[in-house]
Amino acid sequence: MKILVINAGSSSLKYQLIDTDNEAVLAKGNCERIGQNGAFIGFKTSDGKKINRKTQMLNHTQAFEAVKNALIDPEYGAISDLSEVSAVGHRVVQGGAYFDKSVLVNNSVINKIRELAPLAPLHNPAHLQGIEACTRVFGPKVPQVAVFDTAFHQTMPEKAFMYAVPYKYYEKFGVRKYGFHGTSHRYVSEKMADLMGRKKEELKLITCHIGNGSSITAVKGGKVIDTTMGLTPLGGFMMGTRSGSLDPSVITFIAEKEHLTPEEMSKILNKESGLLGISGVSSDDRDVCAAEADGNMRAHLAHEMLYYQIAKYIGSYYVALGGCDGIVFTAGIGENQPMLREKVCDYLECLGVKIDKEFNKQATCGVTGTLSTPDSAIRVELIATDEEMVIARDTRAIVEAL
């Protein structure tokens, strides 16, 4: 069964075609600048060639047309006919408390995703555009499945997901912690159980998805008991451009001093803070690393803050879990920044964590494996996340059950 996996953004559309019989990636690519001048689709051929094609993409329907044409291209295509695509799996950021698992897309699901758009205004509307465009291009007979970033986190107890604000705001507007990156946390926690040769139901794990957007999750017995991101992806620790959690009075204080609207304040916290805001260099950790190596003290401070905050959350989740069997690092920075892993694990020495620092330094660019030493009290693993594979697996399971 060939599954097309879609991650639609407001001006982009990423895709992968996965043969779920052997879990091989047959094709992958990205439509960029949808609705803007200079729109193009970039994709890799089966022999590794990179192709960029400029094409008009005024909306997501035209983007899907570009994807369709790339998939069945006579020279570079991965399939000969669209009928080979059995189903489409969509990443959807916000599923609220309604969805605790992946579901077949129907009118009721579409309406719920639309209803939840105020909780993810930059993401859910784009996902809906992707679903609707897919229907127009592939036809209504091709099944579509929604896989939610928030679903894995719906096992959190009330004491973890509630905020200490008047209860009426939870009842009226759904103000609570939802968590994100759930598909990634689910994948690496299950992979960790496999690597340890143990059932997930008997493990206490802390999974660290560290990228431009980052979150840490406590997983007990295969179920989430807490996670760092909250009502929105702004919560938790500092990220590329996001501030992470802070004293709420910081927001009102700055807004009053600078005479800022809520929208302007939100832009500062989401787009101008984090590594970018502290370093003044970039939101890209590679740039911050280069600046730090050149002696930039603000870049150094940004990293010191990040390492400290990550270690604090891991320590707090150690307490929440009542111990820990394994810690996982994953995602762009987690998989490729040895210094971050080393510095965080140095903080965790008090918990008995020991890592092989030489192997850790070599573990970049696809190198994964066990970072901890045999005498470490907690196993530390580097695992490459694969959210697209989770989406493909869920999509296949749902379609086969029809």
- DSSP secondary structure string, 158-176? HHHH--SS-THHHHHH--S
Contact status, residue 30 vs residue 13, Cβ threshold 8 Å: yes
**Count of positions (residues) in the chain:** 402
Identity of residue 156: M
Q: E strand or H helix at 109, and its extent?
A: helix 107-115
Q: Is 333 annotated as a binding residue?
A: yes
How many CA within 13 A on the CB side of residue 16?
Answer: 19
Q: Is 332 annotated as a binding residue?
A: yes
For residue 356, indicate whether it is catalytic: no
How many CA within 13 A on the CB side of residue 212?
Answer: 10
Q: Is 7 annotated as a binding residue?
A: yes
Q: Which residue has the tokens 């999974």?
A: 207
Strand ranges (E), 127-266: 144-148, 204-209, 215-220, 223-227
Q: Is 356 annotated as a binding residue?
A: no
Helix (H, G, I), strand (E, B) or coil at 105: coil
Q: Is 284 annotated as a binding residue?
A: yes
Q: Is 335 annotated as a binding residue?
A: yes
In terms of Cβ atoms closer than 10 Å to its own Cβ (0-12, 13-18, 19+), residue 287 is middle
112: tokens are 């719920």
Contact status, residue 86 vs residue 80, Cβ threshold 8 Å: no
Q: Are strands 40-44 and 24-32 parallel, antiparallel or unpaired?
A: antiparallel
| Integer-rounded Cα radius of gyration of the chain | 21
How far apart are the C-alpha atoms of 117 and 103, rounded to whole Å? 18
Q: Is 226 annotated as a binding residue?
A: no
Q: Is 171 annotated as a binding residue?
A: no
Q: Is 107 annotated as a binding residue?
A: no
Identity of residue 330: T
Q: Is 37 annotated as a binding residue?
A: no
Contact status, residue 345 vs residue 371, Cβ threshold 8 Å: yes
Alpha helices in 322-379 (DSSP H): 331-336, 338-347, 357-362
Q: E strand or H helix at 179, and its extent?
A: none
Q: Is 285 annotated as a binding residue?
A: yes
How far apart are the C-alpha atoms of 222 and 68, rounded to whole Å? 37
Among the listed residues 21, 73, 100, 149, the single catalytic one is: 149
Q: Provide the annotated binding site for Mg(2+).
A: 7, 387
- Which residue numbers are catalytic? 149
Q: Provide the annotated binding site for substrate.
A: 91
